Amino acid sequence: MKNIYLFGECMIELMPAAQDQSSTLMKQSFAGDVFNTAVYLKRTFADMNVHLVTAVGQDPFSLDMLQYFENENIGCDFVFKSTTKIPGLYSIQLDEQGERSFTYWRENSAARQVMQHIDDEVISQLAKGDMFFFSGISLAVIEPSARAAFWLLIDQLKAAGVQIVFDPNYRPRMWSGAKEAQEQFELALQKSDLSLPGVDDFQQLFGMTTVEEVNQYCQQFGLTELIIKNGEQGILVVVDGETSQFAITPVENVVDTTSAGDSFNGVYLGARIEGYSVNDSISLASKAAGFVIQHRGAIAPADEFNRFIKTQLELV
C-alpha cells in the first residue's frame, strides 16, 4: 500500500454563509492548500495511506480539526500538538466570477513550528514513504530559522528514494520580499522530482506569462516530471524530456475557484502513483477540478464528489 506524506498547514476557514454575500454571517470550516490536496487524493484513491505532516494546538478548534482529518480518513500520526499555539485562520471573499481573495491571521499558527517536532525517529518513518509533497505556502509558513532543517529533511528523504513533489504556490504577503521567495523556490525545484507550477504564480514571482517561459526556466532543475497549469488555456506536461499539450474544457458554472489547483494536484498525483498514464491522470484531475469549482468552499461535499469521481474512474 502506497504511503504519501503531505507537509503544510490546515487552517480555520471562514466564508460568507450566503452565496450572494449580502449577509455578515460566516460559515466556518477547515482548509489549506496541502490539506485540500490530501483530501481529494484520499477520496479518489481510498486504498492509499495519505498522511498530513503538520502541527495544531490543543484548543477546541484544533480538536475539531483533528476530527475533520479523521472523517476524511487522513492519517494523523504526524500531526503534532503544540501546547502554546493554535491553528491559523483565513476568510474568503468571492467576486461575481467566483474568483477569491483572502485575509489571513496566522502569526500564532502551530504549523509555523512543525519542524520543532521532526526528529530522527520521525524522519526514519517519513523515509519509508513513497511520496513527500510540499508547497510554496508550506515553505512560507514555517519559521525562516527552520528552513535549513527542512532542506536537510528533504535531502534525507530523497536519498532514501522518496519521490519529492513541489507545488509552487506563491502568496506575496507571506514573504519578506520576492527575492527571498525566489531563492526558496529555486531550492525546492532543485531538490524535487516532480513539480506542478501555475503560470499565474510564476507571473507574480518571476514575471513569466506563458507556459513556454515557465518550461524554459524549469528545465535547469532536472525535474523528471513537470506539470504547468495555465487555467483555461490548458496544461503543458514534460515527462523525461517529452513535451505534451493538453486542452481544458471550460466550466460554465464557476462558483468558487478556491481549491481548483489543490484538487487537480491531489487527483493527478494519486493517479500517477497508482500507475495511470499522464494522459489519463491529466484527464481525471482536470475533471475533478472542474467539479470542485462548481461548489462553494475549498472542500466539496464528500458524497457528491465521491459519486462523481467514481463515475470518472470507471471511464478511464
Look up the CATH number of the domain holding residue 49.
3.40.1190.20
CA–CA distances in Å: residue 23 to residues 16, 20, 27, 98, 99:
7, 8, 11, 17, 19
**What was the pLDDT predicted at 23?**
63
Separation between Cα atoms, residue 1 and residue 186, nearest integer Å: 32
Q: Exposure pattern of 91-128 as b/e (b: 16+ CB <10 Å)?
A: bbebeeebebeeeeebeebbbbbbbebbeeeeeeebbe
Domain of residue 50, residue span: 3-315
Q: How far, in Å, CA of 258 to CA of 31, rounded? A: 10
**DSSP 8-state symbol, 269:** H
Question: What is the C-alpha separation between 53 and 123, in angstroms, rounded?
Answer: 11
Pair 87, 57: CB distance under 8 Å: yes
Which residues lie below 8 Å from residue 158, measured CB to CB, with a gap of 6+? Answer: 164, 191, 193
Domain count, the chain: 1
First CA to last CA distance, the chain: 21
On whether the CB atoms of residues 61 and 12 are closer than 8 A, the answer is yes
Helices (H), ranges, 219-274: 260-274
Rounded distance between C-alpha atoms, residue 103 and residue 13, angstroms: 10
pLDDT of amino acid 176: 96
pLDDT in tens, the chain (316 residues): 999 999 999 999 998 887 665 667 888 999 999 999 999 999 999 999 999 999 999 999 999 999 999 999 999 999 999 999 999 999 988 777 666 788 899 999 999 999 999 999 999 999 999 999 999 999 999 999 999 999 999 999 999 999 999 999 999 999 999 999 999 999 999 999 999 999 999 999 999 999 999 999 999 999 999 999 998 899 999 999 899 999 988 888 888 888 899 999 999 999 999 999 999 999 999 999 999 999 988 899 999 999 999 999 999 8
Residues marked as catalytic:
262
Give the three-state DSSP class for 107. coil
pLDDT score recorded for residue 20: 63
Query: C-alpha grid cell for residue 311?
Result: 463515475
Letter string b/e over residues 170-179, b meaning 16 or more CB atoms within 10 A of that residue's CB = bbeebbeeee
